[in-house]
Chains A and B, each alone.
Chain A
Amino acid sequence: MNWIITENNKPVNLQDIPCLDINDLRKEIIEIKKRVVGFFGDKVFDGVKLYVVLADDEEGKLYISSSFFGADKKSYESITKTLPAFHMFEREFFEQYGIEPLGHPWLKPVRDHKKEYPFFEIKGEEIHQVGVGPIHAGVIEPGHFRFMCNGEKVYDLEIRLGYQNRGVEDLFVQNPTNQLAESVCGDSVIAYNLAYSRAMEALAGIQISNRAQLIRLIALEMERAAIHIGDLGAIAGDTAYQMGAAIFGATRTLVINSLLEICGSRFGRGLIRVGGVNFDISQELAENILKTLEKVGDDVKRTTTTMLKSPTVISRLERTGVVSFENAKALGLVGPAGRASGVELDTRFDFPDKWFLDKDDKKFKAAGDVYSRTRIRYKEIMQSLSLIRKFMKMLPDFEGEALYISCTNALASDKFVVSMTEGWRGEVVQTFITDNDGKITRCKIKDPSFNNWYGLAMAVRNNGISDFPLCNKSFNLSYCGNDL
């Protein structure tokens, strides 16, 4: 047995995880042809344990295996050479534990700013560099972008991050709380808190009520709709279609204010807690929200249709920032950015979940350009709104169920649990390991941005540098989710 097979939010015993020689594990990873969702180390008393989590999206299963590096073993042969999707994972593992992937083509720091960062350079008479950041022109998070340009054309973009590194993983070991989970990435409050809470509930062995589950999912879909609407506004703004920016901005306000009506926070903070939810949605509130969301749906439809009929908008969006299906697949892009390039991944539907059964199988014309990434936002807003309607209608069936189940049980000891939630940006993966006292000893978080930043770098190649903001907005990746 080279792998232990489990499911989303289903803990496995630590000692049941196979431990292979790294060369055998490497061969296995390459042969099994599954998608990487976790590749990280954990300090054990006499060395480092490497854990690998692969996803089988067709079967909805997770494959887990491991390898041990003793004190004298400081390197292994890089997997990235064969499977580029491992690129960031191997860099991160090297940075955190000092074990070198030999032959890695791009072994640079991920978050560590103490080391010199060697930027890629193209030399030539006509070539010039443009450096942007860490502080940007707008009110956004920090990161450094280095463009190698020939005139207006971008030959290469290198993105250096790590400015936001707050040591989140260590804080989860020190004192895990729902509030910390909410602040890992403040635009995905619900997705992060949901993944965290589900993992804790799985470890504590508690089953929360259907009503609480539905309220959580309503919030998750509201978060998705709200951000996607905001992003359509940002894309409109960057194509100088000001009316779109204004209307989408105002429409987004309606959605986040509905979240405020549920739980007192425009981003859903304080709603979810381990064991359930803190706030109920009364019948009256449900009806009010549905009425608001109906208007939201109409406005988004009308505005998107009008905007995408405008030739000045279309000419900016079409064939701009293309990521081909092959590249997206090889780099391991996830979420809407991946789906816009034809990588059909969505953990809501791919992994068994009784609330998400009928995956929308309408064909989406995925061209991998900014236009596709705009269209996919629109499609997903509509999908989220219809899911919210469906969940709201189901609420009365579970009237009177406990919102919250007191969770005083200790977490199960010596376990390994992987919790995946499809946030608006893609899969949020949180892995927790407990020791024999049931204390969390390792937390690993993977934001969808961790996969997708390199996709953005690929998208702007051979585009005009003035199209960069537009490409950037169409991805809208997280800095703090990547930097942790």
Chain B
Amino acid sequence: MYHHTHSTVGPRELPMARSMCWHCQSEVAGEYFCERCVKVQPVSKDLDYFTCLGFPRRLTIDQHQLETKFYELSRAFHPDFYQNKSAAEQTISLGNSAMLNIAYRTLRDPIERAEYLLDLEAGSVKEIRNSPPADLFEEILELQDTLSEYRAAGHASETESTLRAKLQSERNTLEQRQREMEATLQQLFVQWDTLQDRGEATDQARTERDRILKQMRENLSNRTYVKNIVSDLASTIG
């Protein structure tokens, strides 16, 4: 879908992928519109979502600022405002809007934002966990047993209500667990941002960077696993 850039250079320093206006061939100084002929310029597909929305590659983002920027760019790119323009401009408007929408959707959600950043920094990560995290192994196995007992139990039977209560308490425990994981993730996000802000290029900084990325990856996949179990549970016991 997009190219993975492994550079740690701040997005502001990234050269724009295009250098010439598609329409008047002048060098484009403006960010989204040619300064000379005012035609909309295609947002490069190589641009990452952070750069697209004008944010540094950080995991803490001010939601309000992000929304303001999204609205501002929507007003610049949306096809509604290109109805009377040339076919070429309409195509660019459509492509830019679609890119902007996916960028905003990804960055708006802290978890998706982190997954996306991991993807950018360390290559594809969305490994899908099939077995429970080690520290939850026993608990999950027991839960699976209770779940199948519950499904087999007769409607409105006594066994059913006992099992339901048990499952409900399991659900509370797991939800608590999910919140803890999210809190840990939040700490990792802050660590990441701090490290980036320092901008050091030492070996120590590199080791630190790899450690944070690794922990984030583990936490993210554990959280997804637990979250899926919780929503399964929720839909079973209603």
Q: Do A and B bind each other?
A: no
Seen from chain B, the residues whose Cβ lies within 8 Å of a Cβ on chain A are: none
